[in-house]
Amino acid sequence: MEEINGQISEFSITVNDTLFIENNYGSMDVAYLKADLVSTLIADTVFQLPIGAVYGPYIENDAYRAVKIRDRMVIADSAHARHILLRAQTLEQYQAAQKTADSLVTLLKTGAESFDSLATRFTQDPTGMSNGGDLGNFELGRMVKEFNDLAFYTAELNRPYTVITQFGVHVVEVLERTFETKEEGVQLAFLNIPIIPSETTQDSLYDRILDFAGTNRTMDEFKAAVASLPGKTIQVSSPFKKNDFTLSALGSGQVSREIIRWAYDPATEVDVVSPEVYIYQKPPCTTIIGTSLLLSAVSLPRDL
């Protein structure tokens, strides 16, 4: 909380959002998001605050976040564009395609060549060879992201641009945008600081669980001890087989496999708590760096 609060004041006044976001491991996008694509935690707020305002901190996906409203505008429902595709797969091919694309843009800007003639000679999109690269009208989100962002958000009409996609390098001209619903979109930048327990906290919790498992060795002791802990309950697994890798709600993986192997070990007695403390990592989210720990002591029920 202290860390993100210290960043917010500078975030609100910086004139270079891109550099600030890079230096503080945040995120931003040139896309303008309609309300249904914005988190419900901030959707109402970001469409009401003035451009340049920062909202936060708020908690989302186990992280403190702050959001800056970079811009708002009415989003086109469809666009009409044409392109010349220079296919590429390797780095060398992309570099060569970019060089060719830059030369084609120069020819277009100087008026030395028309888009139709260049498309007929250079495009590697079979559908564009006979129609001057014309893609017709396409809806928002139909094209790959890089192409979509250029066509709907950043390109000026009737000017040539280059854009790199998974297919190669494109020379693109956006000819028209159509506005029917006149729905507004918002461009956002985010600060994101994961809420991660410190090593001291994790070590302390591990020691507490280890002590708990060592003190309460039988099922009866285990149940009585858990009953005395506010908010703690015992979770009982569904039946599992000797060679399984999945353990009920704990999921699959090596740790579940280790518990199953322990359970089927001939030396493991029924109703005795395991001497091992098993550590599960929480599945990572796209906005979180690191994990939190779930520590559990496992015992065998009588009817296993």
In this structure, of 8-17, 31-40, 239-248, the range with the lowest mean pLDDT score is: 239-248
Residues spanned by the domain of 251: 199-296
Q: Do residues 169 and 190 both lie within one domain? A: no
Q: Do residues 83 and 174 both lie within one domain? A: yes
- pLDDT of 298 strictly over 60: no
**pLDDT attached to residue 273:** 86
63-74 and 293-296 strand pairing: unpaired
Report the distance separating Cα 51 and Cα 66, nearest Å. Answer: 14
Q: Is residue 290 part of a domain?
A: yes
Report the distance separating Cα 94 and Cα 92, nearest Å. Answer: 5
> pTM for the full model?
0.65
pLDDT digits (tens, 9 = 90+) for 232-265: 888 888 888 888 888 887 888 888 889 888 888 8
Report the distance separating Cα 188 and Cα 110, nearest Å. Answer: 36
Write out the two tokens for 226. 């858990």
- Specify the higher pLDDT residue, 67 or 29: 67
Q: Is residue 152 part of a domain?
A: yes
* 3-state SS, residue 148: helix
Q: Do residues 70 and 84 both lie within one domain? A: no
Q: How confident is the model at residue 25 (pLDDT cuts 50, 70, 90)?
A: confident
Write out the two tokens for 262. 């322990």
First-last CA distance in the chain: 46
**Count of Cβ atoms closer than 10 Å to residue 160 Cβ:** 21
Q: Do residues 46 and 94 both lie within one domain? A: no
Helix, strand, coil share (%) of the chain residues, nearest 5:
35, 25, 40
**Count of Cβ atoms closer than 10 Å to residue 30 Cβ:** 14
**pLDDT attached to residue 275:** 82
Q: What is the number of structural domains in the chain?
A: 3
160-165 and 168-178 strand pairing: antiparallel
